[in-house]
């Protein structure tokens, strides 16, 4: 079996050329023709989305090829920082309810949970030397952040909506002598649960309803399916751990921000953004 | 000796603003006494009660319970001893019993939930013995009385009541006033009522404080609260 830390591991892949990519584009063309015939009006959006897919992924490929070369730590740090900033911004933008400073809290939660989990996986589970080898660290971090930001946005939306809409109930508890923790406990618990639902659903049906993208990619790239399955298990556990950690961190940071030491709920900071 | 003392209080409805709604309010409530604060809608009665229990920060002034400030007593303990009953009833969709027992999940609440005392108080409040019924099926007036009973079960020293009989008919008003009078006589409960009903204030309370002269933004006085 090839060593996963060497290039031999990926050398079994059948190389794709421009002709292969053109054929794949033909599949999208079928969708475009169907759209035209049925007057769905999706052709323009389909074309833009296809062009974006090609440009973004080819660029990503070029960037990753460059990054995967022995490179400076500074460049790696910049790439990781950009990924974290983009993920935290996206997590907050996806939530309809927000308050000032929320992006910073999302950045802290995502950075701590994603970096911690990535380091555990690269250093201890896969055993990469050094642990920050870009070929491993960046794709893993990307997968964690992609799932983590969905969890965070769901968690934030659920928590802030509850704190805003159920303010009178929470303040009633506070008025009867509840501590801020006692008053916030149920909304916090429900928000963390909400953030965890997508990954729990994925874990329940993985391998039955769908073969995960990463495992499919590995198999197509020539890896042994059993080995790809082991990698997928690690990935699922890694995503579950990181998502739960960042949802819990995010909920606790919001709790600290919106419930002060005088056991007040500062719900007036919460605003709703629609559209 | 007053159980609740309020000195030079200035309050604002918007925590982000430093513009006072009421300023220079001083008031004492003795043990077993009922005091009313009156004034037209929008003059700041609700904001005053919320500020006394610290759900919003007052701009100025102090509140003490038995000469101790809330940070000394601890905010949760202070609020279990000076208990606010808001005008709008706030109950969960669970049973009446579950709602009545809820405060006993909190660390600051002394003692345990006593179902017999709960039934006795519900009877006196004119609510039939249906503690197993969902609170969501009750009328607003019934919910208002369940909220009052829930606060009485905690056995606070002071009860802050915000328009406590606004959703009640005259018979229910009599029952609630009798229930409160009984708690005041038996336990030495003190009551501070915010009401626009001056007749009730004069009938039930030993002292009445009109907030109108203390209201800073007099333009709002007389306008509906939710205009």
Measured CA distances, A248 to A11, A157, B177 (Å): 40, 14, 47
Helical packing angle, A134-165 and A73-94, nearest 10°? 30
What percent of chain A clears pLDDT 70, i.e. is strictly above it? 94
Selected for mutation to probe chain A from B13, B92, B106 (highest A CB count within 10 Å) is B106
Q: Which residue has the higher pLDDT, B85 or B165?
A: B85
Minimum-distance CB partner of A176 among B54, B57, B80 = B80
- What CA–CA distance (Å, rounded) separates A234 from A143? 12
pLDDT at A114: 95
Q: Classify residue A39 as left (phi > 0), alpha (psi -120 to 50) or beta.
A: left
Residue A2's pLDDT is: 43
Structure tokens at B44: 């700041």
Please give the residue that has the higher pLDDT: either A270 or B131: A270
CB A176 to CB B103 under 8 A? yes
Does B99 have pLDDT greater than 80?
yes
CA distance linking residue B124 with residue B73, whole number of Å: 32
Q: Which residue has the tokens 């629609």?
A: A274
Weakest-pLDDT range from A16-25, A116-125, A237-246, B172-181: A16-25
Whether B55 and A174 lie within 8 Å, measured CB to CB? yes
- Whole-number pLDDT of residue A250: 97
Give yes or no for A168 touching B (CB within 8 A).
yes
Neighbours of A95 (CB within 10 A): 20
Give the DSSP letter of residue B29. Answer: E
Q: Report the residue from A177, A263, A265 with minimal CB separation from B109.
A: A177
Reply yes or no on whether the pLDDT at A15 is more than 80: no
CB contact under 8 A, A263 and B56: no
Predicted local confidence at residue B215, as pLDDT: 78
Residues 68-127 of A with CB under 8 A from B: none
Residue A210 has pLDDT above 70, yes or no: yes
- Specify the pLDDT at position A275: 53
pLDDT at B218: 52
Q: Is the pLDDT of residue B223 over 80?
A: no
Spatial distance between the Cα atoms of A30 and A209, rounded to a whole number of angstroms = 25
Taking each helix axis as running N to C, give the angle between helix B115-124 and helix B140-153, from 0 to 180 degrees, rounded to the nearest 10: 140
pLDDT at residue A70 above 70? Answer: no
- How many percent of chain B have pLDDT more than 90? 69
From edge to edge, which strands make up the β-sheet containing B22-30? B22-30, B2-11, B60-65
| pLDDT of B129 above 80 | no
Q: Are A46 and A31 in contact (CB under 8 A)?
A: yes
pLDDT in tens, A164-188: 999 999 999 999 999 999 999 999 9
Collapsing DSSP states into helix, strand and coil, what is residue B38?
Answer: strand
Domains along chain B? 2-220 (3.40.50.300)
CA atoms within 13 A on the CB side of B139: 9
**Smallest Cα distance from A96 to chain B, Å:** 22
Q: Which residues pair with B10 in a beta bridge?
A: B60
Chain A residues with CB inside 8 Å of B71's CB? 262
**Res. A60 pLDDT band, cuts 50 70 90:** confident
Secondary structure (DSSP) of A206-261? BTTTB--HHHHHHHHTT--HHHHHHHHHHHHHHHHHHHHHHHHHHHHHHHHHHB-T
**pLDDT mean across residues, chain B:** 89
pLDDT band at A18 (very low <50, low <70, confident <90, very high): confident
d(C-alpha A159, C-alpha A189), whole Å? 9
- SS3 of B63, please? strand
Sorting pLDDT into bands at 50, 70 and 90, what band is A265? very high
Nearest CA in chain A to B70: A262
CB contact under 8 A, B54 and A264: yes
Interface pTM, i.e. ipTM: 0.91
From B182's Cα to the closest Cα of chain A, the distance in A is: 21
Q: Average pLDDT in the A114-137 region?
A: 90
Among chain B, residues having any CB pair with chain A shorter than 8 Å are: 14-16, 53-57, 70-71, 75-77, 79-80, 83-84, 86, 88, 90, 92, 102-103, 105-109, 150-151, 154
């Amino acid at each position: 079996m090839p060593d996963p830390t060497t290039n031999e591991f990926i050398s079994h892949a059948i190389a794709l050329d421009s002709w292969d990519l053109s054929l794949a584009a033909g599949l999208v063309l079928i969708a475009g023709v169907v759209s035209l015939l049925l007057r769905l009006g999706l052709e323009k959006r389909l074309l833009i989305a296809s062009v974006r897919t090609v440009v973004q992924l080819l660029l990503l490929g070029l960037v990753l090829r460059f990054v995967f070369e022995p490179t400076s730590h500074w460049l790696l740090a910049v790439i990781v920082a950009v990924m974290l900033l983009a993920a935290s911004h996206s997590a907050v933008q996806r939530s309809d309810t927000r308050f000032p400073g929320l992006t910073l809290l999302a950045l802290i939660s995502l950075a701590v949970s994603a970096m911690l989990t990535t380091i555990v996986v690269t250093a201890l589970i896969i055993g990469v030397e050094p642990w920050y080898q870009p070929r491993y660290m960046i794709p893993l971090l990307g997968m964690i952040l992609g799932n983590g930001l969905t969890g965070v946005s769901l968690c934030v939306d659920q928590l802030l909506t509850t704190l805003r809409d159920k303010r009178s109930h929470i303040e009633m508890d506070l008025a009867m002598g509840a501590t801020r923790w006692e008053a916030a406990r149920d909304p916090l618990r429900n928000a963390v649960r909400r953030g965890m639902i997508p990954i729990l659903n994925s874990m329940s049906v993985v391998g039955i309803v769908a073969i995960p993208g990463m495992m499919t990619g590995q198999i197509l790239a020539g890896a042994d399916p059993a080995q790809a399955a082991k990698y997928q298990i690690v990935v699922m556990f890694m995503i579950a751990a990181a998502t739960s950690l960042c949802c819990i961190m995010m909920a606790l940071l919001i709790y600290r921000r919106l419930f002060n030491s005088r056991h007040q709920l500062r719900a007036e900071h919460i605003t709703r953004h629609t559209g | 000796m007053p159980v609740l003392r309020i000195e030079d209080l200035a309050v604002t409805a918007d925590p982000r603003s430093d513009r006072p709604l009421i300023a220079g309010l001083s008031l004492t409530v003795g043990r077993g006494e009922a005091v009313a604060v009156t004034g037209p809608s929008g003059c700041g009665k609700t904001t005053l009660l919320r500020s006394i229990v610290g759900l919003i920060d007052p701009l100025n002034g102090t509140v003490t319970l038995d000469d101790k400030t809330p940070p000394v007593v601890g905010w949760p303990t202070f609020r279990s001893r000076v208990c606010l009953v808001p005008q709008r009833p706030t109950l969960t969709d669970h049973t009446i019993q579950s709602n009545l027992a809820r405060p006993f999940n909190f660390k600051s609440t002394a003692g345990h939930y006593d179902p017999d005392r709960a039934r006795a108080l519900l009877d006196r409040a004119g609510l039939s013995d249906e503690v197993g019924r969902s609170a969501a099926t009750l009328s607003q007036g019934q919910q208002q009385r369940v909220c009052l009973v829930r606060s009485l079960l905690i056995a606070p020293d002071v009860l802050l009541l915000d328009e406590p009989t606004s959703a009640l008919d005259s018979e229910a008003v009599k029952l609630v006033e009798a229930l409160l009078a009984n708690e005041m006589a038996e336990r030495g409960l003190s009551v501070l009522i915010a009401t626009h009903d001056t007749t009730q204030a004069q009938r039930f309370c030993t002292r009445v404080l009109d907030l109108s002269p203390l209201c800073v933004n007099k333009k709002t006085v007389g306008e509906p609260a939710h205009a």
